Structure 1
Amino acid sequence: MPARTRLYTKNDWLREAVVTPSATLGVEKYRDQSRRDFARLIHCPSFRRLQGKTQLFPSHESDFFRNRLTHSLEVAQIAKSIAIRINSTDPFFKRNPINLDMVEFAGLAHDLGHPPFGHNGEATLDRLMLRHGGFEGNAQTLRLIARIEKKTTTEFPSASRSPRAVDPVSLTDLRLGLNLTYRSLASILKYDRIIPQTEAARVSQGSEKKPVKGYYASEGKLVERIKAHVAPEFGDKFRTIECHIMDVADDIAYSTYDLEDAFKANFLTPLAMMAKDDEFKEKIAAKVRESLSTKLPGVSASFAVSDVNDILGEIFKPLLQFNDATLKKLNEGATEAELSFLIGTHTSAGSQALAEKGYLRTSFTSDLVGRFIRGVQVIPDSSCPSMSAVHLDVDTFKSVETLKHFAFELLIVSPMLKIAEKRGDQIIKTLFECFMGDRSLLPSDWRELYGTIDSEAWQARVVCDYISGMSDRYCVEMYARITSENPITIWKPH
């Protein structure tokens, strides 16, 4: 079989640094390169810090709610299940199985670049970095594993000195992050575009008001090398099959488990969702139409309020169906007032039960996840298998998108979350301005990195990298140490 028709080739498993210190210890024949990358991810500090980053609700509110780490674990499990199903059912992938470690890696790594305070923190950092290339979570994930994590540079440690991060003469960034294989780096490259480097460029594209999805110009050459190794002759938008699977798994997790957290927190109930007015539901329908046109081109983007109602009714039908006792009363004949009372009390009780009864919630979300996984379809690309596409069938896609946007649109207008949003914005803005004004506040290694290049763009990116890597709690603590009259401590190490 020609190399280009294989799902994986030896070029996929090459690294930026061909020779590493660990390579001199001998070849580990018992594990392949994808497994080594998986291990490097699990053991890196950025992965551990995900436990302290917000998913939907602030992690200190309850130990029930998901954080970025538990969300990533769920995405990885769902992604692996999708890959196992494809390997088992599709003829092409029975012969060319998807690497399960690589799919799991993509699920675990996909949110590494998210800053403190979730999407609100992302918007704040993007605004602060608008003149220097912006900030975006997916772009930061690539930068983090390919640059920021402290495992390898192009120079290796010696007895006399540690490796340098930047060449002071050529001003070249020597960092290689975790020194992952090209295929692992490709697995988290969701958006094949360079984020505009200037505010003027953002304005000209009409995207200055929100983070632009893509990768930073600073990683542009790296992305070129990734493409050259993974799919050298592919001319369309670059996205590997592992990345496709991770993206679908992420949507499934968002649409089910974020909803479960919202039910547990009593922010939402099925009845409250179904009872929303048509104006709100039209916002949801518009979001779904937009997703249909961008993610499933060629499929009719028709989607109306009535479709939202049909999906909600179908999804929540098992929870709101009449029990035998209620059906008996209805069959025996009931007045209009009795009928209204029976229907009202039954639907209200069934809706509230989902928020209060853990067995019901678990069964509900488990059934949804299984159903959505069964709705995954794969389109093999025999000429370039690494670029094979994966997506949800149309009906499943509409259900996932409806639930995902419903929870998000309801929660972002909540006064309680608005307070947290405002607080996070103020904290990140203050820290950014303090560090840019006085680099002595930075830890020693970050302070040294800040001073290697006398450029505001470089220094702003260093500060942005530092803040974005903080957990929510550490970010709050740092803010208190700088601004509070009663700081928690001045001795806690950076």
Structure 2
Amino acid sequence: MRPLYSLEDEGRVAGLEKAGGSETFRTAWRRDYARLIHSASFRRLQGKTQVFPGHEGDFFRNRLTHSLEVAQIAKSIAIRLNHENEFFKEPGRNIQPDLVEFAGMAHDLGHPPFGHNGEEALDQCMKNHGGFEGNAQTLRILTRLEKKATLTTAGDYSPFGQDGADDRAGLDLSYRSLASILKYDSIIPERANDRASGPHKVVKGYYKSDALIVEDIKRAVVGDDFEGKFKTVECTIMDIADDIAYSTYDLEDVFKSGFLRPLDLFALNPKIYEAVVNTINSRIKKQYPETDGSITQSDVHQILHYVFFEVFAFSTDDRRLLKDRDIEPEAKKMYFAVDAQQRSQLMAENGYHRTALTSSLIQMFLNGIEVIPNEKYPQLSNVRLEYETFIIVEVLKNITYEAVIRDPALQVVEFRGKDIIIKIFDAIKADGGDRLLPKDFREVYQQGDDVNRHRTICDFIAGMTDRYAVEFYSRLFGANGMTMHKPL
């Protein structure tokens, strides 16, 4: 029986510490977790939008609180699998909960300000210099941008060696921790015209400049002889935990905001249901290739009715009262419609009812998880949602995306963010614009070729919070009072 972990998993990027380490009281994964928690990139997640911008209210989730929720769900999945699943109950095959929790905490580090439009804006700016994508940026932050270690001797923190090579090593994490956030095993083409999906669509993967570190990760985790798609069991658990969080807690934020109520989900624009169906059917083909499954708009409505059945769950007393009384059929329909509207409003506005809804959904989804074991490479075993559960999660997740995130009210805000990012990028890229960069970024900018200079500007902007990006833009172009005392 092959074990789930090996000593090679504990090797680190900088290579300055021996695998296994000197601390017998905590694992390599717990050390990585600590390094992440204390990092600047992790702290900045509190200033990045999840669904609603932070200034809209303190209740709404941001990328930091979302990451905490994903980490908790992922860790719960791992603990449960270790307890119940025959494959992972075997000695030597217990999933490390700390490692799964790390993946949940780290998975959104690379997201830029202003959500999806921010990602599209940076990808547009980088279209012929390697592109931009949030998951690729997460890997780059952990392996290069964070200021914990360099490849040189400990204590010498110069980002570049004597030969001019980039010596940054980020948080100097273990290879298995880095593998836990490597969701897409493909290189993003450097030029937009080389993208199979077309030049204007963001491509998921990792940057060409990070290909060597990805090779090191794979070599440590599965060895040199592995062929095929690489995605560790911890990464698959983090991935479904992320989907579960999106499908429940984002919806809770939507209800709290008053943007939509449960009953509204049944009367959206038909184009929204069409988009939801197309997206889900595309994902079914990728994630469940062994099935011929697909869904229709009718299926979407049935699933919504299943999830929000309490909106239509009229009491026996109410039904008996209407049956005994001499009331016209049309009047009865109106009574039920009013009652459903009131129940919908209660579920959206009452915190107890919202919490009961999200708790029941989380439990239902956790009960709908399956394992596809890999005996040859147990570290690449696949944890996924059962097909029926997957459909429910996808409906809720994509309804939120299409009906809310794609709504003009939010798109106006995000469009403004896209414009801000592009203008900041162009200002820094212009002749002499590197003087606008902080000293540490300027030092990196001045080393290397044109691709490196574009990437350095991209790294700087991607790390901004929403508020800081607006403030930086205002200092460059706005009418606000100028200051030289606030640090860049």
One fold, TM greater than 0.5? yes
Q: Do the aligned residues in 2 keep the contact of 1:477 with 1:488 (CA within 8 Å)?
A: no
Q: Do the aligned residues in 1 keep the contact of 2:110 with 2:134 (CA within 8 Å)?
A: yes
Partner of residue 384, structure 2: 391
Q: Do the aligned residues in 1 keep the contact of 2:222 with 2:377 (CA within 8 Å)?
A: yes
5+ residue gaps, structure 2, are none
Partner of residue 67, structure 1: 62
Partner of residue 403, structure 2: 410
CA–CA distance in structure 1, aligned partners of residues 314 and 390 of structure 2? 28
For residues 429-471 of structure 1, the C-alpha deviation after alignment (integer angstroms, 9 at most, x for no partner) is: 1111111121111111111111122x22111100000110111
Q: Do the aligned residues in 1 keep the contact of 2:268 with 2:403 (CA within 8 Å)?
A: no
Partner of residue 109, structure 1: 106
Partner of residue 165, structure 1: 159
Partner of residue 422, structure 1: 415
Partner of residue 441, structure 1: 436
1:186 is aligned, of 175, 179, 188, to 179
CA RMSD of aligned residues (A): 1.6
1:33 is aligned, of 28, 47, 66, to 28
CA–CA distance in structure 1, aligned partners of residues 157 and 153 of structure 2? 5
CA–CA distance in structure 2, aligned partners of residues 384 and 308 of structure 1? 37
Q: Do the aligned residues in 2 keep the contact of 1:480 with 1:487 (CA within 8 Å)?
A: no
2:119 is the alignment partner of 1:122: yes
Partner of residue 215, structure 1: 206
Partner of residue 360, structure 2: 367
2:455 is the alignment partner of 1:452: no
CA–CA distance in structure 1, aligned partners of residues 408 and 228 of structure 2? 43
1:138 is aligned, of 135, 139, 142, to 135
Q: Do the aligned residues in 2 keep the contact of 1:124 with 1:429 (CA within 8 Å)?
A: yes
2:215 is the alignment partner of 1:224: yes
2:151 is aligned, of 150, 154, 164, to 154
1:400 is aligned, of 377, 393, 399, to 393
Q: Do the aligned residues in 2 keep the contact of 1:16 with 1:181 (CA within 8 Å)?
A: yes
CA–CA distance in structure 1, aligned partners of residues 111 and 269 of structure 2? 33
CA–CA distance in structure 2, aligned partners of residues 125 and 474 of structure 1? 16
1:326/1:238 CA distance change after superposition, 3 Å = same
For residues 326-354 of structure 1, the C-alpha deviation after alignment (integer angstroms, 9 at most, x for no partner) is: 22223215312221211110111111112
CA–CA distance in structure 1, aligned partners of residues 406 and 211 of structure 2? 37
2:345 is the alignment partner of 1:352: yes
2:275 is aligned, of 283, 302, 306, to 283
Task: Letter of the 1:255 partner, please give it.
Answer: S
- 1:179 match: secondary structure: coil
CA–CA distance in structure 2, aligned partners of residues 157 and 17 of structure 1? 10
| 1:84 Cα offset (Å) | 1.0
2:81 is the alignment partner of 1:89: no
Identity of aligned residues (%): 48
- 2:400 match: secondary structure: helix
2:481 is the alignment partner of 1:487: yes
| 1:324 Cα offset (Å) | 4.0
| 1:298 Cα offset (Å) | 1.1
| 1:484 Cα offset (Å) | 1.6
| 1:287 Cα offset (Å) | 1.3
| 1:166 Cα offset (Å) | 2.1
For residues 134-187 of structure 1, the C-alpha deviation after alignment (integer angstroms, 9 at most, x for no partner) is: 0000000000000100111111355xxx42212363x42111100101100000
| 1:415 Cα offset (Å) | 2.4
Partner of residue 75, structure 2: 80
CA–CA distance in structure 1, aligned partners of residues 480 and 14 of structure 2? 47
Task: Letter of the 1:485 partner, please give it.
Answer: A
| 1:193 Cα offset (Å) | 0.3
Task: Letter of the 2:286 partner, please give it.
Answer: T
- Pairing of 1:261-276 with structure 2 (within 5 A): 261-276=253-268
5+ residue gaps, structure 1, are none
Q: How many residues align?
A: 481
CA–CA distance in structure 2, aligned partners of residues 425 and 471 of structure 1? 13
Partner of residue 250, structure 1: 242
CA–CA distance in structure 2, aligned partners of residues 413 and 34 of structure 1? 38
- 2:128 match: secondary structure: helix
CA–CA distance in structure 1, aligned partners of residues 265 and 6 of structure 2? 48
CA–CA distance in structure 2, aligned partners of residues 31 and 265 of structure 1? 42
| 1:282 Cα offset (Å) | 2.3
For residues 381-428 of structure 1, the C-alpha deviation after alignment (integer angstroms, 9 at most, x for no partner) is: 121110000111111000000111101001134222121112101111
- 2:308 match: secondary structure: helix
Partner of residue 99, structure 1: 96
Q: Which moved more, 1:414-423 or 1:178-187?
A: 414-423
CA–CA distance in structure 2, aligned partners of residues 81 and 351 of structure 1? 30
Partner of residue 11, structure 1: 8
- 1:130 match: secondary structure: coil
Partner of residue 292, structure 2: 300
2:465 is the alignment partner of 1:465: no
Partner of residue 312, structure 2: 320
2:373 is the alignment partner of 1:380: yes
Q: Do the aligned residues in 2 keep the contact of 1:131 with 1:198 (CA within 8 Å)?
A: yes
2:45 is aligned, of 36, 42, 50, to 50
1:279/1:480 CA distance change after superposition, 3 Å = closer
Task: Letter of the 2:379 partner, please give it.
Answer: S
- 1:427 match: secondary structure: helix
CA–CA distance in structure 1, aligned partners of residues 274 and 13 of structure 2? 48
CA–CA distance in structure 1, aligned partners of residues 481 and 246 of structure 2? 36
Task: Letter of the 2:376 partner, please give it.
Answer: S
CA–CA distance in structure 2, aligned partners of residues 488 and 110 of structure 1? 36
For residues 26-72 of structure 1, the C-alpha deviation after alignment (integer angstroms, 9 at most, x for no partner) is: 82211111111111111110000000000111011101000000000
Task: Letter of the 1:69 partner, please give it.
Answer: L
Q: Which moved more, 1:270-279 or 1:217-226?
A: 270-279
CA–CA distance in structure 2, aligned partners of residues 54 and 27 of structure 1? 39
CA–CA distance in structure 2, aligned partners of residues 29 and 488 of structure 1? 53
Q: Do the aligned residues in 1 keep the contact of 2:16 with 2:154 (CA within 8 Å)?
A: no
- 1:177 match: secondary structure: coil
Q: Which moved more, 1:209-218 or 1:477-486?
A: 477-486
Task: Letter of the 1:386 partner, please give it.
Answer: Q
| 1:234 Cα offset (Å) | 3.1
Q: Do the aligned residues in 2 keep the contact of 1:72 with 1:108 (CA within 8 Å)?
A: yes
| 1:279 Cα offset (Å) | 4.1
CA–CA distance in structure 2, aligned partners of residues 229 and 316 of structure 1? 47
